């Protein structure tokens, strides 16, 4: 528990500044591409905070069209797959430490499952660091929903149910594991199960992805440009600390 609180205490200010800068960059780049405001909100929220979860959380507030939502989710999943395949290789090539790679994954990858998967593909320690720091980024979904609701003049749009359930469960499990002394075998089994379910989730995500959903090249160029910018910023942050 001490390691968890120390990580969040030390890195939460950096994560918060990163989220705000990414959100503003997303809005700016989206406007430069002259894209629909709703699609910009979906991609920007996903890139800044927690991928498809953030995009889906605000979709009802901004009244996004079904095709905009499905396209945004597909592109996010596509970039997650690329990150999972390449980031551990790039991290080893660059000689990043477990701490550096864990932070890099937590900042540069969209969805929580992909952050965890990338981290544990690198090492157990990097996976634990990435998971913890990603939570610090994901809890920004609450002020995001409040901000979008305010901008769109949607009263009563902010609700506790909009908070992803895995965040609540994450803190509950942290409490249980620190209050009670669990057998070592439980930790090993839970670690194996977590990796297994992450891989199953990624597999079914891939099954839902259809390349024909991209009918406008700009709709693909925009999120990729934003993501590459975020990856570069993340790398500069990681190597500067």
Segments of the chain scoring below 50 in pLDDT? 1-2, 156-157
How far apart are the C-alpha atoms of 194 and 95, rounded to whole Å?
Answer: 26
How far apart are the C-alpha atoms of 10 and 103, rounded to whole Å?
Answer: 12
How far apart are the C-alpha atoms of 89 and 134, rounded to whole Å?
Answer: 20
Residue 47 CA neighbour count, 13 Å, CB half:
32
Span 86-132, pLDDT tens digits: 999 999 999 999 999 999 999 999 988 889 889 999 998 999 899 88
How far apart are the C-alpha atoms of 226 and 220, rounded to whole Å?
Answer: 10
How far apart are the C-alpha atoms of 113 and 204, rounded to whole Å?
Answer: 13
Q: What is the pLDDT of residue 78?
A: 87
Q: What is the pLDDT of residue 170?
A: 61
Q: Alpha helices of 1-111 — where are they, by DSSP H?
A: 2-32, 37-45, 52-62, 66-94, 98-108
Question: How far separated are the first and last CA of the chain, in Å rounded?
Answer: 23
How far apart are the C-alpha atoms of 40 and 28, rounded to whole Å?
Answer: 9
Residues with Cβ within 8 Å of 151's Cβ and at least 6 positions away in sequence, in order, are none
Span 67-76, pLDDT tens digits: 888 888 888 9
Q: What is the pLDDT of residue 73?
A: 85
Q: Which residue has the tokens 């390691």?
A: 3
Which pTM does this prediction carry?
A: 0.79
């Amino acid at each position: 528990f001490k390691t968890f609180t120390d990580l969040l205490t030390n890195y939460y200010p950096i994560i918060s500044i990163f989220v705000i800068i990414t959100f503003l960059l997303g809005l700016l780049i989206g406007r430069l591409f002259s894209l629909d405001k709703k699609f910009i909100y979906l991609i920007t929220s996903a890139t800044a905070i927690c991928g498809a979860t953030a995009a889906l959380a605000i979709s009802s507030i901004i009244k996004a069209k079904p095709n905009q939502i499905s396209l945004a989710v597909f592109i996010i999943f596509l970039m997650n797959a690329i990150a999972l395949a390449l980031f551990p290789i790039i991290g080893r090539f660059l000689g990043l430490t477990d701490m550096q790679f864990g932070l890099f994954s937590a900042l540069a990858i969209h969805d929580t499952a992909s952050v965890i998967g990338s981290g544990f593909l690198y090492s157990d320690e990097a996976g634990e660091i990435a998971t913890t720091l990603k939570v610090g980024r994901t809890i920004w979904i609450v002020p995001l929903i409040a901000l979008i609701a305010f901008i769109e003049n949607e009263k009563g749009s902010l609700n506790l149910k909009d908070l992803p359930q895995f965040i609540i469960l994450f803190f509950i499990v942290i409490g249980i594991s620190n209050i009670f002394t669990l057998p070592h075998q439980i930790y090993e089994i839970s670690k194996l199960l977590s990796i297994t379910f992450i891989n199953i989730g990624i597999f079914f995500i891939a099954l839902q992805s259809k390349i024909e959903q991209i009918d406008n090249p700009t709709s693909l160029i925009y999120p990729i440009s934003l993501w590459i910018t975020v990856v570069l910023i993340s790398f500069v942050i990681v190597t500067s600390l």
